[in-house]
């Protein structure tokens, strides 16, 4: 499952000018705090804090993450005597994976004591998503092609995710002949609620969704690595085959991100990711598309390819499954009848279009030599032959 919208960690905040000499003092405090986190210097970190009761131990929680950068940028300081609240951007990079810093909006409570400022708490800014370390102590497990970060998970569990991710990357490389880093970051929170906290969205919208991928569509080349965020509750009920398909599907989204744009309809991006996920597994259409098969056998053959709205997380589960299955079979049909290379060429051509209007039509004509009407008719015939 891929988010149609990018995760909102890449937004900054402006704020009013920072007042009086406290600004410089707080900036220097945050510099010391950042160096302590990056260097793993717990004593130096403790010298920046007078932690309030119940405050999260950020240093301990983040220590397991292999960090390449950690920096605060003060945007606004609201001072009231010996107390203050700071709005800041936290810019951080995970070593070996992030090409540019992720930017998280943070709010820090401060207290002046003995002529110096100290941090009493640090938390996500209002309306900003959580970071994994806000939910507890992070464990990290490295793989040949992956980094798995988890909270409330044993090392053994995280190694299981690592094995799946390390198999997913070569599978995607074999299906997608394009340039991409060939590495993935998998994030495993404690629960569905934890997943929703990372995404800054209500948990109800992700119930039953095994995983989502976050990142920048269009591929500027400056964006950080995408994150595959797992819903451990939905993912955990899958068998080994289903778990592998899910992680391969999400890894396909990571690989194709630079060629995915607002011109790309969800039937193509989701159908292609499913095609990669099932490619080489031997799964037949009736096995992989049971809901759509039932619909076809009831005489409810779709009239048109799924629309973007048909992939909404809140849709009734059977209808949502039918949309994914129909999209997968559209991409499978292209691979079967025109060849796998034409499928990837088609994907690139659609994504390269300046706007949604005309993108699919032009790519159908230029890459597959057909029209939307002919393609839809072929797809409906394909559904009958494969699922009827």
The predicted-structure confidence for 267-323, as pLDDT tens digits, reads as follows: 999 999 999 999 999 999 999 999 999 999 999 999 999 999 999 876 688 899 999
* Average pLDDT of every residue of the chain: 91
Please enumerate in sequence order all residues whose Cβ is within 8 A of that of 292, keeping only pairs 6 or more positions apart, or say none: 302, 321, 322, 325, 326, 329, 383, 387
> Does the pLDDT value for residue 123 go beyond 60?
yes
Predicted confidence (pLDDT) per residue in 216-245, tens digit: 554 444 445 689 999 999 999 999 999 999
Q: What is the DSSP letter of 353?
A: S
- 82-105 mean pLDDT: 94
Distance of alpha carbon 97 from alpha carbon 180, whole angstroms: 12
Predicted local distance difference test score (pLDDT) of residue 217: 54
Q: What is the mean pLDDT of residues 51-73?
A: 91
3.40.50.720, 3.10.180.10, 3.40.50.1100, 3.10.450.50: which CATH number matches 22-129?
3.10.450.50
Domain ranges of the chain: 22-129, 261-388
pTM score, two decimals? 0.89
Task: List phi, psi (to 5°) of 40.
Answer: 70, 30
């Amino acid at each position: 499952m891929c988010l149609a919208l990018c995760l909102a960690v890449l937004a900054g905040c402006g704020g009013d000018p920072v007042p009086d000499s406290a600004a410089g003092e707080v900036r220097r405090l945050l510099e010391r705090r950042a160096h302590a986190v990056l260097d793993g210097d717990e004593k130096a970190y403790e010298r920046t804090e007078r932690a309030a009761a119940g405050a999260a131990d950020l240093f301990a929680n983040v220590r397991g993450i292999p960090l390449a950068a950690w920096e605060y940028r003060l945007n606004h300081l609201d001072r009231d005597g010996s107390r203050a609240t700071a709005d800041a951007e936290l810019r951080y990079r995970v070593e070996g994976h992030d090409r540019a810093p992720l930017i998280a909006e943070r709010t820090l409570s401060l207290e002046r004591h003995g002529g110096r400022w100290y941090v009493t708490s640090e938390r996500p800014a209002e309306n900003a998503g959580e970071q994994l370390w806000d939910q507890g102590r992070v464990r990290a497990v490295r793989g040949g092609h992956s980094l798995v970060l988890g909270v409330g998970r044993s090392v053994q569990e995280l190694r299981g995710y690592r094995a799946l991710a390390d198999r997913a990357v070569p599978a995607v490389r074999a299906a997608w002949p394009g340039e991409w880093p060939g590495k993935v970051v998998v994030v495993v929170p404690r629960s569905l609620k934890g997943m929703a906290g990372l995404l800054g969205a209500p948990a109800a919208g992700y119930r039953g969704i095994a995983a989502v991928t976050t990142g920048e569509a269009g591929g500027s080349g400056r964006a950080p690595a995408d994150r595959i965020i797992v819903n451990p509750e939905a993912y955990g009920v899958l068998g080994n085959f289903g778990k592998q398909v899910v992680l391969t599907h999400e890894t396909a989204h990571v690989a194709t991100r630079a060629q995915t744009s607002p011109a790309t309809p969800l039937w193509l991006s989701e159908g292609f990711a499913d095609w990669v996920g099932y490619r080489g597994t031997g799964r037949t259409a009736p096995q992989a598309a049971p809901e759509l098969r039932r619909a076809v056998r009831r005489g409810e053959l779709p009239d048109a390819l799924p629309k973007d709205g048909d992939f909404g997380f809140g849709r009734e589960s059977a209808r949502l499954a039918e949309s994914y299955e129909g999209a997968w079979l559209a991409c499978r049909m292209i691979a079967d009848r025109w060849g796998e290379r034409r499928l990837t060429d088609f994907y690139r051509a659609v994504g390269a279009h300046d706007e949604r209007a005309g993108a699919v039509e032009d790519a159908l004509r230029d890459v597959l030599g057909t029209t939307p009407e002919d393609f839809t008719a072929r797809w409906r015939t394909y559904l009958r032959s494969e699922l009827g």
